[in-house]
């Protein structure tokens, strides 16, 4: 039986940043889908038969009165997440737990490295 390739879901505040993020991940060989909200992510996760990794802006988790992204993470603990957050650039990657990694948004190569790390 053929293994289903992992699906990377890209969610950013800016459409331009999402397109740049999708391009970097596709160039690294990943199947990528840009998503606009957590509802799209839930649909993609349910439809995909393999592993999913969410690559998202950390600011989406902090939107006041809108806990959709936090609920998505709570309800899907097996989905890995690479959170693009303003961490120190001297720390390429910061592991939060077994399924969450923080990277600086200006480091697309580290986003790719973090996704690969979650998939191994």
The predicted-structure confidence for 28-66, as pLDDT tens digits, reads as follows 999 999 999 999 999 999 999 889 999 999 988 887 767
CATH architecture label of 7-119? 3-Layer(aba) Sandwich (3.40)
pLDDT for the residue numbered 48? 92
Q: Where are the domains of the chain?
A: 7-119
* pTM for the whole structure: 0.92
d(CA 105, CA 120) in angstroms, rounded, equals 22
Supply the pLDDT for residue 65.
65
| Sign of torsion over alpha carbons 111, 6, 30, 67 | negative
* CA-to-CA separations, 13 to 9, 28, 56, 116, in angstroms, rounded: 14, 22, 9, 23
Note the pLDDT of residue 81: 95
Kindly tell me if the per-residue pLDDT of 1 is higher than 60. Answer: no
- Give counts: helices (H), strands (E), the chain: 4, 6
What pLDDT sits at residue 42? 94
């Amino acid at each position: 039986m053929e293994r289903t390739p992992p699906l990377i879901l890209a969610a950013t505040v800016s459409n331009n940043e999402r397109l740049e993020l999708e391009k970097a991940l596709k160039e690294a060989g990943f199947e990528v889908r840009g998503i606009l909200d957590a509802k799209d992510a839930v649909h993609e996760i349910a439809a995909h038969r393999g592993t999913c990794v969410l690559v998202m802006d950390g600011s989406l988790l902090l939107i006041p009165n809108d806990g959709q992204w936090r609920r998505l993470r709570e309800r899907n603990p097996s989905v890995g997440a690479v959170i693009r957050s303003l961490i120190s650039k001297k720390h390429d990657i910061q592991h939060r737990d077994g399924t969450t990694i923080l990277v600086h948004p200006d480091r697309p190569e580290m986003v790719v490295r973090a996704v690969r790390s979650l998939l191994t």
